[in-house]
Structure 1
Amino acid sequence: MQRLFQALCVRTGGFYIVAISSLQIGTQVIYVVIMHIFVYPVVITMRSSNVYEERSLGIYAGETTPKSNHQQEKPPKTVPSSRLYFVKQQLHVQLAYDIWWLALAVIIISIVKAGSFTRDPVVYSVFNIIFETISAYGYVGITTGLPDQAYSFSGGWYSLSKVVLRAAMLRGRHRSLPVAIDKAIVLPGDYLERVEEEDAYIRMERSSEQGHGNV
Structure 2
Amino acid sequence: MTTLAPPLDEAFAVPADAARLDRTAANLRERGYLVHLVDTAEQARRLVRELLPRDEEIFTAASETLRLSGIAADIDESGEFRSVRRDAPSPGADVVAQIRLGALPDVVVGSVHAVTEDGQLVVGSASGSQLAPYASGARRAIWVVGAQKVVPDLATGIRRVHAYSLPREWQRLQDLYGQSSFIGKILIVEREALPERATIVLVRETLGF
State the TM-score bracket (shorter-chain normalisation).
Answer: under 0.3
Normalising by structure 2, we get a TM-score of 0.24
Q: Would you tell me which structure has more strand in proportion to its own residues?
A: 2
Larger Cα Rg: Structure 1 or Structure 2?
A: 1
